[in-house]
Amino acid sequence: MPKAGIIYNDVKPVAVRIAVELKEKFTTAGWDVCITRGVGGILGYSTPESPVCHTPIEGLTPPGFDSEMRFAVVLGGDGTVLAASRLVAPCGIPILTVNTGHMGFLTEAYLNQLPQAIEQLLAGQYEVEERAMLSVKVFRGDATLWEALCLNEMVLHREPLTSMCHFEIAIGRHAPVDIAADGVIISTPTGSTAYSLSAGGPVVAPGVPVLQLVPICPHSLASRSLVFPDSDPVNIYPVNTPRLVMVVDGNGGCYVLPEDRVYLERSQYSARFIRLQSPEFFRILREKLGWGLPHIAKPTSVELP
C-alpha cells in the first residue's frame, strides 16, 4: 500500500478542512495516510528561566513519517512550509506545498488549483527540486546546547535589536573578521529572498552552492554582504558582554552567551519540493516580489509616415 503524508496549519480553519478532505480522498484511493500539524516543526524559543531548548534534528520527525513515504502535502503559508521542511528533511520526503496563507513565496499551488495538483501528484507527473539547508548548532565548550535545521536563515542579534553588537566570524579556514552591527544573518540561497533581502543582501538563485553573510545595519562602510561557498563552515563568537538572541527561520531560537559558539554548515539533509511544472525562479520573483517588471510603459510600434 503506498504511503502519503499531510502536514497542515491547525490555526487556519481552511487548512484543517482541506487536510480532512485530502485524507479521505487518499484513503479511498488505497493510500496509507499519516497526518500531523505543522507545529511540530516549529522550533520554539528558550526563555531566561530556561535558556536551553534543545531537540535533536532527527527528533522532530512525526510518527509514521519515514523514507517509505512517497510524498507529503503541506497546507499553510511560508511558516508552515519552513516547519514542514524540518519535519521531513531527515527522511528525504518530497513535499507539495499548497498556499492557504498570504504571500506563499515558498508554495507551489493555490487552493483553487488543488484538484488538478492532486491529480498530477497521484499520476507522478512532477519534478523534485532540492534546496540546501543549514545545520545550526550552539556550543558551550564541547556540549551542544541547541541545534536546528534551517531553510532560510539564522539571525543573531541583541535585545533590543537597535543595540550595537560585535562579532568575530570565521569562515572556513580563513582568519576571523570583526563585524560591528545590529546583528548578522547567515542565509541560504532560499533565504536570500527573505530577511537577507530586506537587510540589503543579494538575491541568489536556488541552485547556486553558496551561503551569504549579511550584517544588519553595520557600523562601517566596509562591512557589506559576503557570498562564499557553502562547503565552508561558519563559526560565530559573540564579543558582547550581554547575551544575544539567535533566531532560525523566524520561528525559534535560543540565547547565546559570550562563552558560547554558533556553528553553521550545510546540512546533509535537503528540502525536497515537488514542482508541478519546471521550476522557474525568475517567474516567482516577478509574481511575488515584482522583480523585473517595467515601471514605465513601453511604446508600441508605430509606423513611420
Annotated binding site for NAD(+): 78-79, 152-153, 182, 193-198, 251
* CA 292 – CA 285 distance, rounded (Å): 8
Which residue of the set 78, 230, 249, 260 is catalytic? 78
Binding site, annotated residues: 78-79, 152-153, 182, 193-198, 251
Asked about 78 being catalytic, the answer comes back as yes
Residue entry with cell 512550509: 81
- The answer to whether 149 and 61 are in contact (CB under 8 A) is no
The catalytic site residues sit at 78
